[in-house]
Chains A and B, each alone.
Chain A
Amino acid sequence: MAKKTSLPKNKKVAKGSEAAKKPIRRRRRRGNQEYSGVTPLLIMLITGLAFFKVELAMLVGAGMLPTFVMAFTVSGEHKSAKLQCVAFANLTGVLFKFNTVLSQPHLISDILFDPINILVMWGAAVLGHALIYLGPWVAAFFLQAVAQDKLKKLNAQKQGLVELWGHEVLGDKEEQQQQQQAPQSMR
């Protein structure tokens, strides 16, 4: 009887120890993963244009090649914003010959094989990349200016509090600093 009763207990202990050894499964966080709708939109745009006029679809497809390349290669943070920026800039360049292809679709091959046109369309994408590069620099400059302005306001607020409550409100550390500064200034 003793054996029978002891077995389940042992089993339970074993199960418990195995469970303790197993690593806890954690779900992978997907918060940082960005999803950009630019690529499907472009594909849908090209498909739609192909139904309307194949030449237009060809123009967009060829002109937006830098965007497609970027869509499959871009990584890191803010890739959606970056992709959208390049896409918008690239599309601006494509629109340069959009009317010509719309009115004279037979000129599509001339347009696509003209290096100037390709340069304009892909150059627009380069411009988009340039914007991506310059954006943080400009933003940093502006943010710095805003911070300075805020700093002034904070100082004024702090000064107001000091005037109302005295230097004690600054707490021990600053009070000590001021007390230390006072004899130095006396010297």
Chain B
Amino acid sequence: MSGEKTPVPSGQTAFGDRYVLNAKAPLVEFNSHGGLAFEVQDKEKPNVPLYGFVHHPTVPIRNEFYKSLKSRPIANAVNPVDRGLMNVDVKGRKQRLVTIFKRPTGGALLSPDGTLHPELNPNKLRHNVVLSLLKALAELHKRGLVHRYIAPTNMYFAEPGSDEVVLGESYSFPAGYKLPTGLEPLELAFADQSCRGEGDVNADFYQLGASLLCLYFGQDLLKNRSRDSLMMARINQGSYWALAGGQEMPGALGSLTKGLMADALDERWNAEDILDWFEGVGKPKRTTMTTWTMNKPTTFMGVAYVERRLLADAFGRNPLDAAKFLKSIDFPAWTQISLRDEIMTERLEKVINVKPEEGYGGPRSDDHFMVSRVCSFLHPTGPVYYKGMALNISGFPGLIAEYFSRDDRETMTSASEIFDAKILNSLTEIVAERNPNFAVQSVSIKKALDHGPSKQLGRGMERVLYELNPIMPCVSSRFESVWIGSLTQLMRALDRLSSVGGGKNILLDRHVAAFCAAHGTDLEREFNNLAASQSNPAKFNTLTADFFGLLQKRLKLEALPHLCEKLVDGLAPSIRELKNKKRREQVQTAVEKLKKSGDIAKLISDIKLTQTQALDAREFSQATNLVRKLEREKNRLMRKVLPTDIMARKRGYQAARMIAFFGLVTISFFTFFGGR
């Protein structure tokens, strides 16, 4: 099986010899869910402090973030310097994507172990930290980017003894990916931690407020909090009070934090409000929860709920009990009593479609969908609840990547069921009024998910993964030790894999096929042909060679001798199947000649195996017909010819007549002219 793992290219690095990553010097404070950070030495500028971030292949990155910061660095943020593939010796030698960042050397404001920076005090927090972070956020928001990882552990003093604070990177993992529930604004916090969604600038301001709160109290208030109790507390008391644990943050900083952590979106402070606050004209804001409060509490699983969002969350987390509960009540009457402000039209009632219990009333197949619809009705701006999951549509790409990293196919299939046209349409209709973004976000994901149910090569959930996360490398187990981010890298890796005896039937690897299909253009026809010939290994190998020849030509790649040799080995059965001996020898000679050249494109164009096979089959059929004809003729000729045969008689009589005629002519000649 060692032959099935692609070897790491020797001494290859995208940076030449410029950056040297010291794998023995980890920088834990710069680690994130997307990878690990290590010290890096720049040989050209040894005095510039840098760190290298080794990305994990199964976590998608936010590429637009990198591009923007690389081209125009932001003053109070950790900016990337460069990125590329590098061989890293972390738990074995592997080829990984490494991003080089400028390293703030002053230390994290709150270390990963929860220790506050000794130089940080409320005064510094108020005058320096807020301003520095505001500068960074304002620039990011101006560029249309949202940070989504503003955490006390992701803020650093630029230098030792400096008051300048820089905001850490947030490009190494999807927005909100696996962040603590307390760090997410209420509108996103209900979703599962792997699927929080992209969020907006309001989420950044909330995170800023939550970070300031932690830094003020000098401890990580976000850690070790039970999700359900925290959510209950946040809803009932407001996020600020829930996280602060009832402690008051006095003065101007307190009003800023409360403003930033306001749960109602229209009450939450933004950049303008912060600037007003700096000038001392900031108006205090208070959170209100009137919108989501129900007129009559509903008791579900022994708990009385007066808040729609909490009830929706409880329903969503316990779908089977919720279905039983919903079937036991008169839903329209319950809505009228509990949600008096809600205008329940006949159409909406029909869309939500809560059917009362009938007969024995066991669980029905569409119970989960019914609960999902009711949850969306109760909390239209919240996540989609389905089979115990809570998913924000925009976070779906990251979620799929996470399922693949866990190899959790079952949950992945369940999650993708919400994109069924019927359920998606009904959810869109239910939330349309209060969450118009839902329809927009779901369209692009739905398009990619159309590939999901297909078993065809180059499609399926693997294709969904690469369509939704175009920046993700190919995560086939064959490429465990290498980073395959493009088709060019894939081809080169396949060449290396072939050199160690692997890579047989490589296109049957669903990850490889899906990666090629997602990254290549106009390859649908090729994949359709490959899928159609899956049951015929010889034809499949021929088409595989055609496919890689096409890629090599399109990508204008150098010679790939090992891959070429491997593909030629795969062609052997097809060549053996050629019936015409002369043609077979010709093709074999051509193949042997081009085998070592590594030019797959030339090999394919020279031998034209598919066309040759077709020609051979056609000519073989003609030859078979000719042989049958010869056989019939032979049988006819082998029979003994008798004088009674029609032909013998005919020819015999004709010959007799001819002889008689010649006799007559001769005698006539001698009769009339012989005497003279």
B1 lies within 8 A of chain A by Cβ? no
Question: Are B656 and A92 in touch, CB under 8 angstroms?
Answer: no
- Given A140-B642, A140-B645, the answer on whether A168 and B579 have CB atoms closer than 8 Å is yes
Q: Decide if B664 touches A89 in the complex (CB within 8 Å).
A: yes
Within 8 A of A (CB), among B179-208: none
Partner of A154, one of B634, B649, B667: B634
Is A89 touching B660 in the complex (CB atoms < 8 A)? yes
Chain B 623-639: CB-based contact to A (< 8 A → 1; otherwise 0): 11011101101100110
- Given A89-B664, A95-B667, A169-B620, the answer on whether A136 and B653 have CB atoms closer than 8 Å is yes
Q: Which residue of A lies closest to B631 (CB)?
A: A158
Instruction: Check B623–A161 contact: CB distance below 8 A.
Output: yes
Q: Is the C-beta of A134 less than 8 angstroms from some C-beta in chain B?
A: yes
A81 touches B579 (CB 8 A): no
A136–B645 alpha-carbon span in the complex (Å): 8
**A4-12, A18-26, A142-150: which lies at the interface:** A142-150
Query: Does A143 lie within 8 Å of B623, measured CB to CB?
Result: no
What CA separation (Å) do A98 and B667 show in the bound complex? Answer: 11
A92 touches B667 (CB 8 A): yes
Docked pose: A143 CA to B671 CA in angstroms: 36
Interface residue ranges of A58-114 to B (CB < 8 Å):
77-78, 81-82, 84-89, 91-92, 95-96, 98-99
Kindly name the residue among B656, B660, B663 whose own CB sees the greatest number of chain A CB atoms within 10 A. B656
Residues in chain B near residue A81, CB distance under 8 A: 653-654, 656-657
Instruction: Say yes or no: is B647 at the interface (Cβ < 8 Å to chain A).
Output: yes
Complex CA gap A86/B645 in Å reads: 22
Please give, as numbers and ranges, the residues of chain B lying within 8 Å of A78 by CB-CB distance: 649-650, 653
Q: Known contacts A139-B655, A140-B642: does B627 contact A170 (CB below 8 Å)?
A: yes
Q: Residues of B contacting A176 with CB < 8 Å?
A: none
> Which residue of the partner chain A has the closest CB to B582?
A164
Q: Which residues of B contact A144 (CB under 8 A)?
A: 640-641
Q: Inside 8 A of A138's CB, which chain B residues have their CB?
A: 652, 655
Collect the chain B residues with CB atoms within 8 Å of residue A139's CB.
643, 647-652, 655
Determine the residue in chain A with the shortest Cβ distance to B619: A165
Of residues A96, A131, A155, which shows the largest number of chain B Cβ atoms within 10 Å of its Cβ? A131
B668, CB-defined interface residue at 8 Å: yes
From B581, B634, B649, A165 is in contact (CB under 8 Å) with: B581
In the bound assembly, the distance between CA atoms of A17 and B660 in angstroms comes to 60
Q: What chain B residues lie within 8 Å of A183 (beta carbons)?
A: none
Interface residue from A136, A151, A157 paired with B652 (Cβ < 8 Å): A136
Nearest-CB residue, chain A, relative to B654: A81
Q: Which of B279-315 contact A (CB under 8 A)?
A: none
In the complex, which residues of chain B have a beta carbon less than 8 angstroms from the beta carbon of A151?
Answer: 634, 637-638
Contact (Cβ within 8 A) A154 B630 = yes
Contact B630 A157 (CB under 8 A): yes
When chains A and B are docked, how far (Å) is the Cα of A33 from the Cα of B115? 124
B620 in contact with A147 (CB, 8 Å) = no
Instruction: Provide the main secondary structure of the chain B interface.
Output: helix
Shortest CB distance B355–A (Å): 64
Quick check: is A166 within 8 A (CB to CB) of the other chain? yes
Cβ–Cβ contact A140 & B637, under 8 A? no
Residue contact B664 to A88, C-beta cutoff 8 Å: yes
Q: Which of B633, B653, B671 contacts A98 (CB 8 A)?
A: B671
Q: Which residues of A contact B582 (CB under 8 A)?
A: 164
Q: Are B623 and A164 in contact (CB under 8 A)?
A: yes
A61–B158 CA distance with the chains assembled, in angstroms: 143
Q: State A84–B654 Cα separation when bound (angstroms).
A: 10
A52 at the interface (CB under 8 A from B): no
Chain A residues, CB < 8 A from B667: 92, 95-96
CA distance A138 to B643 in the complex (A): 8
Residue B11 lies at the interface, judged by CB distance under 8 Å to chain A: no
> B626–A161 contact, CB under 8 A?
yes
Across-interface contacts of B626 in A (CB, < 8 A):
161
CA distance A146 to B55 in the complex (A): 86
Is the C-beta of A171 less than 8 angstroms from some C-beta in chain B?
Answer: yes
Interface residue tally of chain A, by bracket?
Answer: 35 or more
User: Chain B CB within 10 Å — which of A92, A128, A147, A163 has the most?
Assistant: A92
Is residue A35 contacting chain B, with contact meaning CB distance below 8 A? no
Chain B 73-107, CB within 8 Å of chain A: the 1/0 string?
A: 00000000000000000000000000000000000
Residue pair B664, A143 in contact (C-beta under 8 Å): no
CB distance from B661 to the nearest CB of A (A): 5
**In the assembled complex, B675 has its CB within 8 A of some CB on chain A:** yes
Q: Shortest distance in angstroms between A157's beta carbon and chain B's nearest beta carbon?
A: 6
In the bound assembly, the distance between CA atoms of A143 and B580 in angstroms comes to 36
Q: Which residues of B contact A135 (CB under 8 A)?
A: 649, 651-656
Q: Inside 8 A of B641's CB, which chain A residues have their CB?
A: 140-141, 143-144, 147
Q: Does A137 contact B (CB under 8 A)?
A: yes
B644 CB–A CB distance under 8 Å: yes
Which residues from A are CB-within-8-Å of B671? 95-96, 98-99
User: Which chain B residue lies CB-closest to A162?
Assistant: B627
State A57–B393 Cα separation when bound (angstroms): 121
Instruction: Report how far A137 CA is from B642 CA in the complex, Å.
Output: 7
A126 CB–B CB distance under 8 Å: no
Q: What is the distance, in angstroms, from B450's C-beta to the closest C-beta of chain A?
A: 45
Q: Contacts of A166 on B, CB cut-off 8 Å?
A: 579, 581
Tell me the nearest residue of chain A to B633, going by C-beta. A154
- Asked if B659 CB lies within 8 Å of chain A CBs, one says yes
Q: For residue A132, which residue of chain B has the nearest CB?
A: B656
B657 pairs with A88, CB closer than 8 A: yes
Q: How far is the CB of A77 from chain B (nearest CB, A)?
A: 7
Whether the Cβ atoms of A77 and B649 lie closer than 8 Å is: yes
- Chain A CB count within 10 A is highest, among B626, B657, B675, for B657
Q: Given that A99-B671, A158-B630, A170-B627 are contacting pairs, would A165 and B580 also be in contact in the complex, using a CB cutoff of 8 Å?
A: yes
Chain A residue with the shortest CB-CB distance to B620 = A165
B570 to chain A, nearest CB (A): 23
CB distance from B42 to the nearest CB of A (A): 68
Q: How far is the CA of A87 from the CA of B657 in the complex (A)?
A: 9
Identify the closest chain B residue to A99 (Cβ).
B671
Closest to A140 in B: B648
Distance between Cα atoms of A134 and B648 in the complex (Å): 11
The answer to whether B653 and A82 have CB atoms under 8 Å apart is yes
B624 touches A171 (CB 8 A): yes
Shortest Cβ gap from A76 to chain B (Å): 10
Report yes or no: B643 in contact with A140, Cβ–Cβ below 8 A: yes
Q: What CA separation (Å) do A85 and B663 show in the bound complex?
A: 10
Smallest beta-carbon distance B617→chain A, Å: 11
Min CB distance A122 to B, Å, is 15
Q: Which residues of B contact A84 (CB under 8 A)?
A: 657, 660-661
Q: B623, B638, B653, B659: which contacts A169 (Cβ < 8 A)? A: B623
Chain B positions within 8 Å of A171 at CB level = 624, 627-628
Contacts of A99 in B (CB 8 A): 671-672, 675
Q: Which residues of A contact B581 (CB under 8 A)?
A: 163-166
Please give me the 9 A-B residue pairs with the lowest Cβ-Cβ distance, nearest first: A135-B652, A136-B652, A135-B656, A88-B660, A139-B652, A136-B643, A131-B656, A81-B653, A139-B651
Could you list 6 further interchain pairs (A-B, Cβ under 8 angstroms) beyond the known A89-B660, A131-B660, A143-B648?
A85-B657, A85-B659, A88-B660, A136-B648, A139-B648, A140-B643
6 CB < 8 A contacts A-B: A135-B654, A136-B652, A143-B641, A151-B638, A163-B581, A164-B580
Q: Chain A interface (Cβ within 8 Å of chain B)?
A: 77-78, 81-82, 84-89, 91-92, 95-96, 98-99, 128, 131-132, 134-144, 147-148, 150-151, 154-155, 157-158, 161, 163-166, 168-171
